[in-house]
């Protein structure tokens, strides 16, 4: 094909290419509407401060609260990362923060993200593997330590091969899936 022939072919295909590009942009906008990234600056700064990937923190927040800063669970967990007041006060102690906060402070996005990210970092440091750390975030450290000590759930005492609580198993899978979606939509390029 000559150069002139290629030009004609491109002109004929240009509307189709532009249409495909438009569909891609619309699909991305729709997907971002379904998976919002509210508080992006806070998420990214807390992820950086704690050595976390921002998409992982987004996956956790989407799973916990769907980015609703005023979310309160029936169990009393609050805010974006759904911390209970007891966990929050333990994290304050662990961080050496002697500030006195009311439990309602957990509804403040910056404070909630700060301690939710810190909690996840502590769990990753303690358990060494993301699925195990996420299971502990959902079901609690003590329960996960028990699972790791039980050969029915862990052959090596470090890796959970089987999570006995279906809710926790779904939780771990959901956080990881949402993290992959957030990476694709916001952090791939």
Query: Which residues contact residue 164 at a Cβ distance below 8 angstroms, ignoring those fewer than 6 apart?
Result: 147, 152, 153
**What are the b/e assignments for 105-115, b being 16+ CB within 10 Å?**
bbbebebbbbb
Catalytic residue among 44, 46, 55, 64: 64
Largest CA distance in the chain: 77
3: exposed, middle or buried (Cβ count in 10 Å: 0-12, 13-18, 19+): exposed
Name the nearest CA neighbour of 116 among 175, 180, 157: 175
Has 64 been annotated as catalytic?
yes
The Cα–Cα gap between 168 and 138 comes to 6
Residue 13's CB: how many other CB atoms inside 10 A? Answer: 11
The conformation of residue 107, written as its DSSP 8-state character, comes to: G
Catalytic residues: 64
């Amino acid at each position: 094909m000559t150069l002139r022939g290629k030009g004609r072919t491109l002109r004929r295909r240009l509307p189709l290419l532009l249409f495909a590009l438009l569909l891609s942009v619309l699909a991305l906008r729709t997907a971002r509407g379904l998976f919002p990234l509210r508080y992006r600056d806070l998420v990214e700064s807390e992820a950086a401060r704690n050595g976390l990937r921002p998409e992982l923190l987004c996956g956790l927040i989407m799973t916990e609260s769907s980015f609703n800063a005023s979310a309160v669970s029936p169990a009393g967990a609050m805010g974006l990362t759904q911390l209970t007041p007891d966990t929050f006060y333990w994290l304050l102690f662990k961080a050496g923060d002697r500030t006195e906060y009311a439990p309602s402070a957990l509804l403040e996005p910056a404070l909630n993200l700060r301690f939710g990210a810190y909690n996840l970092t502590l769990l990753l440091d303690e358990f060494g593997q993301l699925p195990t750390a996420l299971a502990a975030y959902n079901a609690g450290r003590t329960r996960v330590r028990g699972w790791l000590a039980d050969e029915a759930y862990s052959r090596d005492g470090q890796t959970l091969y089987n999570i006995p609580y279906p809710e926790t198993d779904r939780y771990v899978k959901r956080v990881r899936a949402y993290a992959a979606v957030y990476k694709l939509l916001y952090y791939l390029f």
